[in-house]
Structure 1
């Protein structure tokens, strides 16, 4: 049976930290589905369609990566896609408590599904989409933390 993993997130916007986890996941699993979550609790800068398009562009070199989006519970999406593993990146110890709670409820809802935690490359451990947006808002150079296409999209959003 092929190993199908889902790397879920808001990706608002995608950063080099995200790409690090996606690329490394693609080296471990037969297929990685990067799933953009429609999160009602967040007010995203980029629409789901824009985030999907950016992710498609920056992962096009990864043959076994597919970009998709979903609503609702991750476990329901996992079952629908016949995926058996969730990939989650951990930047710091502070991420672990939340991720452990999420993994525990996911295990309760889908006992056949495993969560695979990957430590982010130390080079990106400080990086979050929120920080990227804050820096980009003031027209600072973000070229070393996001791909060029994302930097251009950020400049366009902020009219810089």
Structure 2
């Protein structure tokens, strides 16, 4: 069985993320979507909420599981017999960063990394930009599912 992991912060999950996961599921038998926590990125959704959003968005995709994790991706992959990480690449900046990570992961445990180029319509979309647009009241619906857009608006609504 060919197994892969798609790690990320997914805060919020974008249509670009969902595209990479869908394409990964077409290549691998089993995909673990790993929702990590990056203390250097100010989050909108808690990791458990991101897991819920992804589970809902990916419910019809066979062979895909969503998990929250902390720590090193290489450790998770070793513990779960996953030999490949799949990362979406939007451009040169992503490639430079992800190539360094891929090389270190391979040196540490032999974990392979497969890069999938972003579809052109998603190449400029990032979770941080979607968060910024949403926080400033702009239109971001075209970058996320309707359910994720609704939950994002709910999250940003003033408390009463």
TM-score range for the pair, normalised by the shorter chain length: over 0.9
Question: In the alignment, does 2:94 pair up with 1:114?
Answer: no
In structure 1, stretches of 5+ residues that fail to align are none
2:149 corresponds in structure 1 to: 151
Once residues 89 and 11 of structure 2 are traced to their aligned partners in structure 1, the CA distance between those partners, rounded to angstroms, is 17
Once residues 30 and 54 of structure 1 are traced to their aligned partners in structure 2, the CA distance between those partners, rounded to angstroms, is 22
For 1:138, which of 136, 139, 155 is the aligned residue?
A: 136
Range moving further from structure 2, 20-29 or 138-147: 138-147
Does the residue aligned with 1:99 lie in a helix, a strand or coil? helix
1:95 corresponds in structure 2 to: 94
Question: In the alignment, does 2:126 pair up with 1:128?
Answer: yes
Does the residue aligned with 1:72 lie in a helix, a strand or coil? coil
1:46 corresponds in structure 2 to: 45
How large is the RMSD of aligned CA atoms in angstroms? 1.0
Residue 120 (structure 1) shift: 0.6
Number of aligned positions between the proteins: 158
TM, length-normalised to structure 1 = 0.95
In structure 2, stretches of 5+ residues that fail to align are none
TM, length-normalised to structure 2 = 0.95
The C-alpha deviation readout for 1:25-80, integer Å capped at 9, x for no partner, is: 00000011100012233231100110000000000010111000111111000011
The C-alpha deviation readout for 1:119-159, integer Å capped at 9, x for no partner, is: 01001000000110111112222221100111011111211
Structure 1 segments, 4+ long, off by >3 Å, are none
Once residues 40 and 129 of structure 1 are traced to their aligned partners in structure 2, the CA distance between those partners, rounded to angstroms, is 15
1:68 corresponds in structure 2 to: 67
Does the residue aligned with 2:142 lie in a helix, a strand or coil? coil
Check whether the contact 1:139–1:155 (CA below 8 A) recurs between aligned residues: no
